[in-house]
Structure formats: C-alpha cells, structure tokens
Amino acid sequence: MANQLEIHDLYASIEGEPILKGVNLVVPQGEVHALMGPNGAGKSTLGKIIAGDPEYTVDKGEVLVDGENILGMEADERAKKGLFLAFQYPVEVPGVTIANFLRLALNAKTGKEVSVSEFYAKAQAALQTLDWSEDYLSRYLNEGFSGGEKKRAEILQLMVLEPKYAILDETDSGLDIDALKVVSKGVNAMRGPNFGALVITHYQRLLNYIVPDVVHVLVDGKVATTGDKTLALELESKGYEWVRELAATG
C-alpha cells in the first residue's frame, strides 16, 4: 500500500451548491505539492473538507491517508492518522499557553504522555529554526498575535507535531515577506521521506522559497492541469485563462 495522501474523485457541495466536481490528486510522502488556481476555484474548500469541516457535504469520492478513507473520522482521529491542517486552530485560546497547547496536541497525536524534557527539546529545536524567542511558549495561543506571529505559531505546531501530511492554506493570511520566509523555513525543515505537503497558494514568490515537486491547478472544482515548478511561472506570466480553456474543453 502506497504511503500517500490521495484525493479520489471528490465531489462536495454546500447547501446544494456543487463546489468540488471530481477532484483527483495524489501527494506521496516525501513530496511537496503546490495547489494553485483562481479565486473561488475550491482550494480552501478542499482543505476544509480534508480537515472535516461539517459545513460541507461530501457527495462522492474519498480522501485516503495511506490507503485509509478518513472522511467520516473526527478531527482528532485524522490528526492521529498523521494529518496536519494549518487552519485547524485558527482561534485565540485565552488562558492556554502555546507550550500547554502544543503538549496536549502532541499527546493527543501520539496517544501517549510525552515527557516535559522531550517536548521542550522538540519545541526549542523548532523555535531555533523559526528564529523565534522561547518567551513565546508562555504566551496565550494567538492572543494578541500579529498575522506573522500567528503564522509562526502555526508552523511551530507543524514542526512539533511532525505530521505525515500537511495541508497549508496560505490564501487569506496576508503573508508579508517575513511570514513567507517563516512558512518556507518550517516546511523546508520538515522535508524528507516521511513528510508530504500540499501548499495552497497564490504566491509564485512563496514557491521560490518552497520549491514544489509538483504543481496542480484547480479550476472550477477540478484539477485542470498538473506540472512541475515551471507551471507556477507560466501561470504568473500568462494568467489563468488558458487553464480555464483547458478545463472547459476537458
């Protein structure tokens, strides 16, 4: 059985309105893929469905993690299967420090009590990579954080939790150049045979830092075309119209 995140013929809708119309996409462990596409194509919807957002109805298809269909699983079960979704914890959690939050999340993911020293070793290594002060571990999660700090906190979670597959939706986060670099550093530090990622982005610039193995383009709820990193450059110079035409003619 292949170690991969596989989205197979996925159809999904919201209040009867179809949004995903047969998405097929495979991210093998060990590879970083980018998902691009025009506004409203369904990129964030795809991410939210993989995260288990109950707002959306899956009409058909499967999302397989190492061969196992995760649709129908609770969010914490999905995390145990090794999935990490960047918008999983978008809220401020007053009264819960980053350190406590991360330890709880790590315990939940591994299904055992991780020792304090083991936890701090992981957290410190990640903080160092992200060029971030240890003081942040005692801050309340996301409370009063700037956009860039939230992004750092999210990537810190990614690095401490060490998931098998991560889906990072950067679209709405208004990343400045520092945040772009933080995301890139974190993702690049995770790269290796045991890690796969789907990075959703409009920014060709991000892909200069996180050089993707594969680029997929989602148009009107379907993957219209797939290519290597040069596809992102082609989109940058030519726009999306030609991909829309490709999608329309099948």
Ligand X SMILES: Nc1ncnc2c1ncn2[C@@H]1O[C@H](COP(=O)(O)OP(=O)(O)OP(=O)(O)O)[C@@H](O)[C@H]1O
Shortest distance in whole angstroms from residue 216 CB to ligand X: 12
Shortest distance in whole angstroms from residue 93 CB to ligand X: 23
Angle at 212 between CA 10 and CA 168, to 5 degrees: 55
39 phi and psi angles, rounded to 5 deg: -55, 135
> Of residues 3, 24, 129, 171, which one binds Mg ion by CB under 5 A?
171
The reply to whether 175 sits near ligand X by the rule CB under 6 A is no
Q: For residues 186 and 158, is the Cβ–Cβ distance under 8 A? A: yes
Shortest distance in whole angstroms from residue 39 CB to ligand X: 3
CA–CA distance, 46 with 222 (Å, rounded to integer)? 10
Instruction: Choose among 52, 53, 43, 39: nearest CA to 199.
Output: 43
CA–CA distance, 245 with 250 (Å, rounded to integer)? 8
Q: Which is nearer to ligand X, 49 or 159 (CB)?
A: 49
CB atoms within 10 A of CB 193: 10
The reply to whether 44 sits near Mg ion by the rule CB under 5 A is yes
CA–CA distance, 42 with 31 (Å, rounded to integer)? 22
Shortest distance in whole angstroms from residue 114 CB to Mg ion: 33
CA–CA distance, 123 with 136 (Å, rounded to integer)? 11
How many chain residues bind Mg ion (CB under 5 A)?
3
How many chain residues bind ligand X (CB under 6 A)?
12
The reply to whether 43 sits near ligand X by the rule CB under 6 A is yes
Q: Which is nearer to ligand X, 157 or 173 (CB)?
A: 173
39 binds, among ligand X, Mg ion, none (CB under 5 to 8 A by kind): ligand X
Catalog residues that contact ligand X under the rule CB under 6 A.
14, 19, 37, 39-45, 55, 171
What is the binding site for Mg ion (CB under 5 A)? 43-44, 171
